[in-house]
Copies of this chain bind each other. A is one copy, B any other.
Amino acid sequence: MRQAGRYLPGYRAVRSVHGFWDVCHSPELSTQVALEPMRLFGLDAAIVFSDILIVPEALGLGVTFGAGEGPQIARPLRTEADLAAWNTRGMDERLAFLPAAVKHLRAALDEQIKDTPALIGFAGAPFTLFAYTVEGGGSDDFKRARVMLHEEPALAKRALSQIADFVGALLVKEVEAGADVVQLFDTWGGLLDAHDYATFCAPLVREISDRVRKKGGRVMIFIRGGGHLLDALAGAGVDGVSLDWRTPFAAARRVSSDWVLQGNLDPVRLFASPERVAEATRAMLDDMKSSSGGRRVIANLGHGIMVGTPEASVRAMVDAVKAARW
């Protein structure tokens, strides 16, 4: 959940001299920023530093991040011709920096961090990448993307399916490079109703999961605001579901007793004194314990760490989790 980022001084120092894409593309820099929270907080797992939009960028769509704004995509998908212009050859090569970063981070974790933390890889979920690609950037409602699902379902499905192919291939490479588990980030899937999610997204999640699991990896998925999509996820073959801060553990456990459930502390809770963070964390752990059916859980946030989050809060949360006796 965005372990490394602007809330950390080491990250800010790196970014003051290197561009965002440069950090992503350099296994050394990527590893350096990914290790910072491991050293600071003693987390049980590390996540590779990357961005969900590396796939559209590798397709040649021109992804940039304006200062203070969301991402912009220079060549959005609007027509069949746009899709035909995607630079689909050589994707493995253009995305090789991410498995390289995973491999580099894996070695660094083994050498430098005690207790051999797990390593998490990730990629954007197909719908979220499709949504940015159709919209040409961020949006409140991703109207264009959602309209395309209904008005040009054949084009939408071809685009989604191509994206899913590249996402699956990328996640397989991450697993081969040493990721124990990969997470699909679906920032915008929660905009869809359950029927559309089941129609357009769940089958792709299933395909990706099957590919990753065949290689011995495990798959988790996070859908922001996706509490209404748990049933639609039931057959999608994922090992785990990361719950957003509004989705109770009990709701997910009712759908599947097999899922590893991860979550779900509201990141705004970290803007508090360490004592209160510890209290909120313990309340979350109590809820996990009482409502997740005695099955496997991972204590985490229910969305990405926010800019400005105090380091002491993250430490207080981690310490409260480690101190818990089940």
Considering the chains assembled together, what is the distance between the CA atoms of A272 and B191 in angstroms? 19
Does A37 reach chain B (CB closer than 8 Å)?
A: no
A190 CB → nearest B CB, Å: 7
> Could you mark each residue 262-291 of chain A with 1 if its beta carbon is under 8 Å from any beta carbon of chain B, else 0?
000010110110001000000000000000
Partner of A225, one of B190, B248, B266, B306: B190
> Could you mark each residue 222-234 of chain A with 1 if its beta carbon is under 8 Å from any beta carbon of chain B, else 0?
0001011000000
A267 CB → nearest B CB, Å: 8
Whether the Cβ atoms of A194 and B246 lie closer than 8 Å is yes
Whether the Cβ atoms of B266 and A193 lie closer than 8 Å is yes
Q: Which of A51-59, A107-115, A142-150 contacts B (4 or more CB under 8 A)?
A: A142-150
Most central of A147, A269, A276, A303 by chain B CB within 10 Å: A147
Considering the chains assembled together, what is the distance between the CA atoms of A269 and B194 in angstroms? 15
Tell me the A286-318 residues at the B interface (CB within 8 Å). Answer: 303, 306
Residues from chain B with Cβ under 8 Å of A44 in the complex: none
A326 CB → nearest B CB, Å: 22
Residues from chain B with Cβ under 8 Å of A247 in the complex: 228
A127 CB → nearest B CB, Å: 14
Considering the chains assembled together, what is the distance between the CA atoms of A151 and B271 in angstroms? 8
Considering the chains assembled together, what is the distance between the CA atoms of A271 and B246 in angstroms? 30
A314 CB → nearest B CB, Å: 15
Whether the Cβ atoms of B193 and A143 lie closer than 8 Å is no
Considering the chains assembled together, what is the distance between the CA atoms of A248 and B197 in angstroms? 14
Whether the Cβ atoms of B225 and A271 lie closer than 8 Å is no
A152 CB → nearest B CB, Å: 11
Considering the chains assembled together, what is the distance between the CA atoms of A37 and B194 in angstroms? 31
Does A118 reach chain B (CB closer than 8 Å)?
A: no
Partner of A245, one of B147, B193, B268: B193
Whether the Cβ atoms of B271 and A193 lie closer than 8 Å is no
A281 CB → nearest B CB, Å: 13
Whether the Cβ atoms of B272 and A151 lie closer than 8 Å is yes
Does A80 reach chain B (CB closer than 8 Å)?
A: no
Does A141 reach chain B (CB closer than 8 Å)?
A: yes
Whether the Cβ atoms of A192 and B150 lie closer than 8 Å is no
Tell me the A141-189 residues at the B interface (CB within 8 Å). Answer: 141, 143, 146-147, 150-151
Known contacts A246-B193, A272-B151; A143 and B227 CB within 8 A of each other: no
Whether the Cβ atoms of B147 and A268 lie closer than 8 Å is yes
Whether the Cβ atoms of B228 and A268 lie closer than 8 Å is no
Considering the chains assembled together, what is the distance between the CA atoms of A164 and B150 in angstroms? 39
- Excluding A193-B246, A228-B228, 14 further A-B contacts by CB distance (< 8 Å) are A141-B268, A143-B271, A143-B306, A146-B266, A146-B268, A147-B268, A150-B269, A151-B271, A190-B246, A191-B246, A194-B246, A225-B225, A227-B228, A228-B246
Residues on A facing B (Cβ under 8 Å): 141, 143, 146-147, 150-151, 190-194, 225, 227-228, 245-248, 251, 266, 268-269, 271-272, 276, 303, 306
